[in-house]
Amino acid sequence: MTGKDRKELEIDDKKYIWHPFTQMRGYEKESQIIIEEGNGCLLRDMEGNSYIDGVSSLWTNVHGHRKKRLDDALKEQLDKIAHSTLLGLSNIPATRLAKKLIAIAPAGLTKVFYSDNGSTANEIALKMTFQYHQQCPSGNRGKKKFIRLSNAYHGDTIGSVSVGGIDLFHSMYRDLLFPSFKAEAPYCYRCALGKSYPACGLACLTHVEDIMKAHNHEIAALMIEPLVQGAGGILVQPPGYLKRVRELCTRYNIFMIADEVAVGFGKTGKMFACEHEDVVPDIMALAKGITGGYLPLAATLVAEEIYEGFLGEFEEFKTFFHGHTFTGNPLACAVAIANLKIFEEERTLDHLQGKIAHLAKKLRPFASLDHVGDVRQCGIMVGIELVYNRATKQPLPPEKRTGHRVIMEARKRGVIIRPLGDVIVLMPPLGISKKEIDQLCQVVYDSIRIVTEEK
């Protein structure tokens, strides 16, 4: 590619693309990277510069870029068929993948409903639990509402936003949303109750139970990101919290929806986050890592009880009237099958444990930085919260854009990461090497130090 071609692409990017979660006024003024290739845990831009993919291409890539077995699976399926509808038909990869997903999912989940991203997977879960209560003999037509947790993020479609809890993302659309009950979720570094774990005794659960006790006759389901609230700032739930939520849902006859879109497929150290506390949700939403980060695909896994609530004669109109054009896409499903085979045959999760421990060791020096308030880790997921004053936990002024400046400094040093405000997020592919972890952590450490020490 010539210098002229590269320049033209840079101009056209800013002229024609509206980037997601991006203030375009600032983007248009800054020098930007356009990625051309990837290999392993590295990305390469048009200029030939290499970068560690420190957020696994937005939390999706699992085994690295250009993984031969995934490339081959895609090419092999392409020689057969790229897409055929799942409406009233089926295809081979979708069927085989569904069987594999149920085999590895928490026991009790028996059916797979496909879609193409995390938002739709969660939207499907909401609609299923609502419709179940409206038409199933064992349902309750008064159950039309949901419990949402503070700092939650479940996607950007209207239903998933309605059960979200991040005002920065969601408050603008309040007039479009359906009402839900908001409960406090654990944010131990900034506890809303002013308590400290473990002395708190998981007091934040009291608010959840109070809502359930008073309104269980109205509540169809609670949606939760198991173990880690991702977009909320990599907020790690204390041990036992998830299991207690499951117990409360059971006690008050409320469906539990586990949003494993961000945490599934190894990121917490197990295939699914629910496994850490032996939790079986009524519905589990999957996406992101399901294809190893190759293609858009999502799956909503459902308990048999819910599925049976939709069975009936044609004229009863109990059908789940929901679907997407590329539902169960053969290309994506074929790659997803190969992804699961790699997990099994290469013992990905076994090899990951040493990397998780190594990452924890490399994160310890961050506590010495004056403007690092908290370092949170769950598996390969890390959130480094920057503050103005560590003693008081006073946040940095938003107009300083400290998190953004840190990630731009890291780019100069060969690392691509993305902040959540002033929380620096690290979530590399599971396939990252210990040497690459060393480089990732050193660059991020240096970038935070340089930016926060600027006068």
DSSP output for 300-324: EEEEHHHHHTT---GGG--S-----
Percent of the chain with pLDDT over 70: 100
Task: Give yes or no for a cis peptide into 198 (omega within 30° of 0).
Answer: yes
Domain membership flag for residue 3: no
Q: Is the pLDDT of residue 421 over 80?
A: yes
Sign of the alpha-carbon dihedral angle for 163, 184, 22, 418: negative
- Do the Cβ atoms of 69 and 289 come closer than 8 Å? no
Q: What is the mean pLDDT of the chain?
A: 96
Count of structural domains within the chain: 2
Question: Which residues partner with 356 through β-bridges?
Answer: none
pLDDT tens-digit readout, 189-208: 999 999 999 999 999 999 99
Taking CA atoms, 170 is separated from 52, 145, 166, 243, in Å, by: 31, 18, 6, 28
pLDDT band at 45 (very low <50, low <70, confident <90, very high): very high
Q: Are both 286 and 396 inside the same structural domain?
A: no
pLDDT of residue 455: 55
- Give the three-class secondary structure for 210: helix
Please give the distance of CA 399 from its chain centroid, rounded to a whole number. 27
In 399-414, which positions are buried (b, 16+ CB within 10 angstroms) versus exposed (e)?
A: eebbbbbbbebbbeeb
Instruction: Pick the last residue of a domain from 345, 362, 386.
Output: 345
pTM of the model: 0.96
Within a 10 A sphere around the Cβ of 279, how many other Cβ atoms?
23
Identify the CATH number of the domain in which residue 40 sits.
Answer: 3.90.1150.10
- Give the three-class secondary structure for 158: helix
Q: Is the pLDDT of residue 1 over 90?
A: no
Identify the CATH number of the domain in which residue 172 sits.
Answer: 3.40.640.10
Q: Are both 329 and 359 inside the same structural domain?
A: no
pLDDT of residue 197: 93
Q: Is the pLDDT of residue 101 over 70?
A: yes
pLDDT tens-digit readout, 312-325: 999 999 999 999 99
- Do the Cβ atoms of 158 and 177 come closer than 8 Å? yes
Sign of the alpha-carbon dihedral angle for 385, 386, 389, 390: positive
Rounded Cα–Cα distance for residues 288 and 42 (Å): 19
Identify the CA nearest to 391 among candidates 405, 371, 407, 377: 371
pLDDT band at 3 (very low <50, low <70, confident <90, very high): confident
Identify the CA nearest to 302 among candidates 122, 34, 38, 448: 122
The H or E element that residue 353 is part of is: helix 348-363
Q: Are both 403 and 295 inside the same structural domain?
A: no
pLDDT tens-digit readout, 5-37: 889 999 999 999 999 999 999 999 988 899 999
Instruction: Pick the last residue of a domain from 321, 345, 369.
Output: 345
pLDDT tens-digit readout, 344-365: 999 999 999 999 999 999 999 9
Q: Are both 313 and 414 inside the same structural domain?
A: no
Rounded Cα–Cα distance for residues 281 and 305 (Å): 12
Domain membership flag for residue 15: no
Q: Are both 254 and 393 inside the same structural domain?
A: no
Domain membership flag for residue 19: no
Domain that holds residue 205: 71-345
Q: Are both 354 and 271 inside the same structural domain?
A: no
Instruction: Pick the last residue of a domain from 345, 360, 383.
Output: 345
